[in-house]
Amino acid sequence: MSNVASRITVGVTGVLVLCGGWAYAAAAAPPPRSVLPVKESEAKTETEMKPYTEVIEHAEITFGMVPIRGGTFVMGSPETEKDRKKDEGPQHKVKVDPFWMGKCEVTWDEFEVWMFDMDIERRKLKNVPANARDKAADEYQLTQPTAPYADMTFGMGRENFPAICMTQLAARVYCMWLTEKTGRYYRLPTEAEWEYACRAGTTTAFFCGDDPKQLADYAWTYENSDEAYHKVGKKKPNPWGLHDMHGNVAEWTRTAYRPYPYDPADGRDDPATPGEKVVRGGSWRDVPARARSGFRLSYLPYQRVFNVGFRVICEDRPGDP
């Protein structure tokens, strides 16, 4: 699965530059990352990839990851699709490499370990010394002596509810922290990876068909949400085992909003690319048409959006989330 040579890899302490077939280290290569052992996450080949449960050490928090096989799919929606927007075309084929994806959206339980330094506090309380992973991850913790100025849940619930209202940058730093914390490479999905995983082999407006009425069993939208987000994973998953891809909270991707065809060679997946970043899937306060597999929305990466959260993906290729 290793595909390092095809990417420009930016590590935490070193920069690997690939140029005309020559690879050289522009700075000292980072030491090998310490890995928290999770047996099921180990896979030498794509066919060995299994679902696994990730652990956030010292916080007693876990979350599920689902293997997504690589493949080629048709990105975008057909002109005949009801409510289709012009930016969803032209349809085009995109190849996607394998990865694991969060079975559910990132919850407050997970996000607040990072946001409130909860693992550091627990280590202090229990007098547990920081291990190599903790030390590396602590570099990405927020330093905030006071509580945030507003309740980011807006009273909608915290335990097992999806995190919202973080900037895309904060979601990315969370991924960097999680990478150090676990030793596995976590990042935001690209727009193509997100749509590929959402469609799960389907070509209809929703992974459950074209009729929005069918959505009720699979998604929280304006039609059934009672105007609030819901606990993650309560609706049926898509064919690849992912929950809430349509609705609940809309999800940040790492990709800059650009016209189709999707072409990663133009730098749209590079986090440093300026401009608005794509958000996918619609939310509890959106009508079903905005939860369609092909629907695209975008916000600036420093915007905190009331109905936008994220989910993580994991792959074996190290880089910058």
What are the tokens at 18? 């690939």
Q: Which CB, 121 or 217, lies closer to Ca ion?
A: 217
Handedness of CA 155, 160, 166, 168 (dihedral sign): negative
**What is the closest distance, in whole angstroms, from the C-beta atom of residue 48 to Ca ion in the complex?**
28
Q: Which CB, 107 or 248, lies closer to Ca ion?
A: 248
Contact, 141 vs 121, CB < 8 A? no
Distances (CA, A) of 252 to 52, 229, 310: 23, 16, 5
**What is the closest distance, in whole angstroms, from the C-beta atom of residue 279 to Ca ion in the complex?**
10
Q: Which CB, 67 or 281, lies closer to Ca ion?
A: 281
What are the tokens at 218? 């699979």
What are the tokens at 35? 């890995």
Q: Which CB, 73 or 252, lies closer to Ca ion?
A: 252
**Euclidean distance between CA atoms 107 and 244, whole angstroms:** 12
Per the omega criterion (within 30 degrees of 0), is the bond before 90 cis? Answer: yes
**What is the closest distance, in whole angstroms, from the C-beta atom of residue 231 to Ca ion in the complex?**
13
**What is the closest distance, in whole angstroms, from the C-beta atom of residue 12 to Ca ion in the complex?**
29
**What is the closest distance, in whole angstroms, from the C-beta atom of residue 291 to Ca ion in the complex?**
8
Q: How far apart are the first and last CA of the chain?
A: 18
**What is the closest distance, in whole angstroms, from the C-beta atom of residue 168 to Ca ion in the complex?**
15
Q: Looking at the chain, which runs of residues are DSSP E strands?
A: 16-19, 22-25, 52-56, 61-68, 71-75, 92-96, 99-102, 185-187, 250-256, 277-280, 296-299, 308-309, 313-315
The strand pairing partners of 313, in sequence order, are 101, 187
Q: Which CB, 41 or 283, lies closer to Ca ion?
A: 283
Q: Which CB, 119 or 244, lies closer to Ca ion?
A: 244
Which spans of this chain sit near Ca ion (rule: CB under 5 A)? 244, 248, 281
